[in-house]
Structure 1
C-alpha cells in the first residue's frame, strides 16, 4: 500500500496544506497500515480504491479522535468487517 498516497489524501481530507503535522500523520498512516495487515490479516491491494479509502478514513478518524476514548465509528467498523470477510477472515 502506498503510504505517501494515503498521507496526501488524509491531508486533503483534513484541509492541511503545510508539512507541520507530517511527522505525526506519517506515524498514524504507518500504524494504520501495519494494524490492518499484521493484526487483522488483511492483504492490502495498492490498486484497490476501497482499501485505499478505508486506510484514509481510518487514519483521519485516528487523527481527529486522538483525545477521544470513544469507540470506532460504526461506518468504519462495518467497512472493516467487510474487508475481513473479503479477505477470508483473520489469519492466525
Structure 2
C-alpha cells in the first residue's frame, strides 16, 4: 500500500511498522525515530530525491523537510502487506 506525503513546514509524527519504506521524490527529507529506553541519541537520516529508507524498528518516526533545501518534500510511504494477507499464499503441505 502506497501513501503520498508532502511536507512544507510542520513536522509529521507517524507510527510506522518495521518493513515500511520511505521514498524521497523532491526536496530533502529528514527523519528520526523515538527511541524510548534506548541509551544515546535517536538516529537521524537525511534522504535526497531518489533515495529511500527501510524502517527497521517499529515505532514513532518524525519526518520534516530541511529548510535549507528551499523546497517542500514530496515523498511516498510504502507499507508492508499485513501478515494475514499472506496466509494461504504459501503452503508447506
TM-score, with length taken from structure 2: 0.22
State the structure with bigger RCO (CA 8 A, min sep 6), 1 or 2: 2
Point out the structure with the larger helix share.
1
Question: Which is greater in Rg?
Answer: 2
